[in-house]
Structure 1
Amino acid sequence: MATRLVLWDIDHTLVDTRGFGWALFAEAFHQVTGVPLERQPRISGMTEPVIFRETARLHGLSTTREEFDAFAPVLAELHLRHSAELRERGHALPGAASVLAALGRVPGVRQTVLTGNIRATAHVKVAAYGLDRHLDLGIGAYGEESEDRAELVTLALDRAGCPASEAVLVGDTPGDVRAGLAGGVRVVAVATGRCGREELRSAGAEVVVPDLSAHDDIVRLIMNGQTGAVRQRSR
């Protein structure tokens, strides 16, 4: 069936904050816990509540949802306050804006985000690089809504009123891949983050592309599964 909904991961799929996003996380963590951030877990594919809890654990702290609920607005406020610096220090990944714009011209296709970020920081990040104009952020699914990314897939599908058979998830981590497969949607994995192609394939991705720069091919791949030159490049 034709694609009607595209679910985009944000970090290292659409944008790269070049470490500034983590610097803001560290500042929020310090403000809320009183403990300077000295260690970080391997965060690829985690949702924000899990990242907060695991980071706290590495610093000898035991936290509950209450502590995360205190942390989230501090993190959001820091992103809003430093949005200009976020824009200056980071960037949209090659091809991201072109792919989003091209898909936005396809009748009947809606695009949104499925991200481990909390809603407020997700909105700041995509707006910082001008990507929000192509996304229906109201139907997205966000990290504070579930620790399980597969549940976020179901949530986004429900909000969009779209069956899984007509949706595609695009992400850069094994967690993205597994979430998409568990949610019954087609997955396009992009090897633009910390995870290599073989790691993404091992998670179950049938198609792994090196990046979004071949935007015409990526659009065709997202819309109907035809890989063409993209598949050749991904081998």
Structure 2
Amino acid sequence: MAMHPALTVGFDLDMTLIDSRPGIKAAFEALSAATGVYVDADLAITRLGPPLADELAHWFPAEDIPAIAETYRNEIYPVHAITGSPALPGARESIAAIHGVGGRAVVVTAKYKRNAERHLEHLDIAADAVVGDLWAEGKGAALIEHGATVYVGDHIGDVRGARTAGALSVAVATGPVGAAELRAAGADVVLADLTEFPEWFEGYVREAA
């Protein structure tokens, strides 16, 4: 069995560590122009969290989605979405807080892994590992594999992923789901945003010790 450091924290990416709305909007507009199929990019970015195929299903026939997704991920997204997506306040400081106690920060996201890595590289967010293409309960296996005891996300799907892994669910109300709904879904801790994470984390580590 693999050995893990004493403390590993998992993070979602979109609307947890980064504000991907501007980049994804630009990418969907480019996809619409390339395919000639109308995509309401403003609506699409209100539904971030679930896998790309879920959003494409609103606009394209099912049989076309695999090819469209491939084009989007490998040709359109890297060009249009990376540079326009800023880090959310507190993102770098949260990772630094974990590294400051010798812990590891692992990004587990529904996004295509290489594009997630591109975002982190562009923004100089120093994750120790990145796992992509996982959603909701599917995130649980990666969290278990990496020994994560905490998972931080903005969506009910992230709460479900944490629960599946037996990890503490820390929710940030920076995405499409409000604080009350995150609490109702079973989040153990709800923060307004990641600027509150380092102080919370300091207390969590102190209590654990």
TM-score (norm 1): 0.73
**Which digits, 9 at most, give the CA deviation of each residue in 1:168-219, with x for residues without a partner?**
1100111111221123211111111222110110111121011121353133
Per the alignment, residue 132 of structure 2 pairs with 142
Q: How does 1:60-79 map to 2 (within 5 A)?
A: 61-64=60-63, 67-79=65-77
CA 1:152 to 1:73, structure 2 compared with 1: closer, same or farther past 3 Å? farther
Query: Cα RMSD over matched residues?
Result: 2.7
Q: What residue identity is the alignment partner of 2:26? A: A
Q: Which runs of 5+ in 1 are unaligned?
A: 227-235
What corresponds to 2:120 in structure 1? 126
Amino acid at match of 2:188: E
Partner of 1:47: 51
Task: Judge conservation of contact 2:104–2:128 (CA < 8 Å) in 1.
Answer: yes
- Partner Cα distance (1:127, 1:154) in 2: 25
**2:27 equivalent among 9, 20, 24:** 24
Give the aligned length: 202
Does the C-alpha gap of structure 1 residues 225 and 195 become closer, same or farther in structure 2, counting only changes over 3 Å? farther
Partner Cα distance (2:6, 2:205) in 1: 5
> Helix, strand or coil: the match of 1:205?
coil
Which residue is 1:92 aligned to?
87
**Residues 1:79 and 1:222: Cα distance change in structure 2 (over 3 Å):** farther
Structure 2 counterpart SS, 1:189 = strand
Q: CA deviation at 1:116?
A: 1.6
Closer, same or farther in 2 for the Cα pair 1:80/1:115, shift >3 Å?
Answer: same
Partner Cα distance (1:220, 1:117) in 2: 29
1:219-234 equivalent positions in 2, closer than 5 A: 219-220=201-202, 223=205
Q: Shift of the alpha carbon at 1:100? A: 0.6
Contact 1:168 1:187 in 2 (8 A): yes
Retained in 1: the 8 A contact 2:26–2:80?
no
Q: Deviations over 1:94-141 (max 9, x none)?
A: 11111111212322x22111112111221122222111xx2123xx33
CA contact (8 A) 1:141 1:156 kept: no
Counterpart code for 1:16: D
1:104 counterpart residue number: 99
